[in-house]
Amino acid sequence: MNSTKTIQSALISVFHKEGLEPIVKKLNDLGVVLYSTGGTEKFIKDLGIDVIAVETITDYPSIFGGRVKTLHPKIFGGILNRSEEIEDQKTLQEFKIPQIDLVIVDLYPFEKTVADGGSHQAIIEKIDIGGISLIRAAAKNFNDVVCISSVNQYASLLNLLEEKQGATDIADRQKFAAKSFATSSHYDTAIFNYFNSKEELPALRLSSNEAKVLRYGENPHQKGYFFGDFGDLFDQLHGKELSYNNLLDVDAALTLMSEFKDNEPTFAILKHNNACGLASRESLVEAYRDALAADPVSAFGGILIANKTIDVATAKEIQSLFCEVVIAPSFEEEAQAILSVKKNRILLRQKHWNLPESQVRTAINGYLVQDRDSKTDLAEDLKVVTKKAPTTAETEDLLFASKICKHTKSNTIVIAKNKQLIASGTGQTSRVDALNQAIHKAKSFDFDLKGSVMASDAFFPFPDCVEIGDHAGIVSVIQPGGSIKDELSIEYCDGAGMSMVMTGTRHFKH
CB 489 within 8 A of CB 460: yes
Distance CA 77, CA 93 (A): 11
**SS3 per-residue string spanning 318-381:** HHCCCEEEEEECCECHHHHHHHCCCCCCEEEEECCCCCCCEEEEEECCEEEEEECCCCCCCHHH
Q: What is the DSSP string of 167-217?
A: EE-HHHHHHHHHHHHHHHHHHHHHHHHHHTTT--S-------S-EEE-S-S
Which residue out of 26, 164, 175, 272 is catalytically annotated?
A: 272
| Of 32, 143, 139, the residue nearest 82 (C-alpha) | 143
Which residue out of 140, 175, 342, 375 is catalytically annotated?
A: 140
**What's the CA angle centered on 352, arms 351 and 358, to 5 degrees?**
130
Distance CA 408, CA 415 (A): 12
Cis peptide before 143 (omega within 30 of 0): no
Handedness of CA 80, 86, 89, 93 (dihedral sign): negative
| Of 349, 313, 367, the residue nearest 231 (C-alpha) | 349
| Of 173, 69, 190, the residue nearest 131 (C-alpha) | 69
Distance CA 11, CA 78 (A): 10
Going residue by residue through the chain, which has 510 residues, state the pLDDT in tens, using 9 for 90 and above.
Answer: 568 999 999 999 999 999 999 999 999 999 999 999 989 999 999 999 999 999 988 887 877 877 777 888 999 999 999 999 999 999 999 999 999 999 999 999 999 999 999 999 999 999 999 999 999 999 999 999 999 999 999 999 999 999 999 999 999 999 999 999 999 999 999 999 999 987 788 899 999 988 899 999 999 999 999 999 999 999 999 999 999 999 999 999 999 999 999 999 999 999 999 999 999 999 999 999 999 999 999 999 999 999 999 999 999 999 999 999 999 999 999 999 999 999 999 999 999 999 998 999 999 999 999 999 999 999 999 999 999 999 999 999 999 999 999 999 999 999 999 999 999 999 999 999 999 999 999 999 999 999 999 999 999 999 999 999 999 999 999 999 999 999 999 999 999 999 999 999 999 999
326: CB partners within 8 A, 6+ apart: 304, 305, 310, 318, 339, 345, 346, 347, 348
pTM value is 0.87
What percent of the chain is helix, strand and coil (3-state, nearest 5)?
Answer: 40, 20, 40
Quickly count: other Cβ atoms within 10 Å of residue 26's Cβ. 16
Residue 59, classed as helix, strand or coil, is coil
pLDDT per position as a tens digit, 168-218? 999 999 999 999 999 999 999 999 999 998 778 889 999 998 889 999 999
Quickly count: other Cβ atoms within 10 Å of residue 368's Cβ. 11
Q: Return the amino acid letter for 289.
A: R
272 is catalytic: yes
**What's the CA angle centered on 358, arms 352 and 363, to 5 degrees?**
130
